[in-house]
Amino acid sequence: MARFRFRLQTLRRLREIYRDEQRARLATAFEAERILQEQRAALAEEASVLADSQRQLMRGAVDVNLLLSAQRYHLALDVQAKTLTDQAAKLAEEVERRRQALVEADREVRVLDKLEERQRRQHFEAAERADAKRLDEVATTRWEVAE
């Protein structure tokens, strides 16, 4: 029986490499999302600490300069928070694009896998038919010789 050889093996390997690259790109985007989330949490914590310090300033003798500085800093934190929110939205879009690219690359690999499986099964079935035909011929030849 002839050995099965999938002629599109090189193409499948290239598609597997591309799929793995897409997985790595998606993992990078997830890592960026995680880092951005950590930055947003740190910023929220800093804003909370600032609000607590502003309340402390209001309890005692009011220093207007300190309150104005705290207010300016609070506005700067708000701008940073808005920037991080905008970045998070853009990053979410990029993650979705990369996820779709991975899904497509994975689909292309699965298509070739199914094709190989079908061709392997057809090869096996053809080999089985050829073996059965040879056995029938041998049996027929022996039967004719025996008569």
CA distances from 15 to 56, 67, 107, 141 (A): 61, 60, 10, 50
| Cβ atoms of residues 112 and 9 within 8 Å | no
pLDDT digits (tens, 9 = 90+) for 21-39: 999 999 999 999 999 999 9
Q: How many domains does the chain have?
A: 1
> What local confidence, expressed as pLDDT, does residue 139 receive?
81
In a domain, 54, yes or no: yes
Taking the C-alpha atoms of residue 121 and residue 118, their distance in angstroms, rounded to an integer, is 5
Is residue 84 one of the residues assigned to a domain? yes
Looking at the domain assignment, is residue 49 inside a domain?
yes
Domain assignment present for residue 25? The answer is yes
**Residue 123, domain member (yes or no):** no
Domain assignment present for 111? no
Residue 146 domain-assigned (yes or no): no
For residue 56, the model assigns a pLDDT of: 81
Sign of CA dihedral 49, 50, 54, 56: positive
Quote the pLDDT of residue 55. 84
Any domain includes 118: no
Listed as ranges, residues in the chain with pLDDT below 50 are none
The pLDDT value recorded for residue 70 is 86
State pTM to two decimals.
0.74
- For the purposes of burial, counting CB atoms within 10 Å of the CB of 19, is it exposed (0-12), middle (13-18) or buried (19 or more)? buried
pLDDT at position 1: 66
- The domain that contains 45 carries what CATH number? 1.10.287
What range does the domain containing 73 cover? 9-106
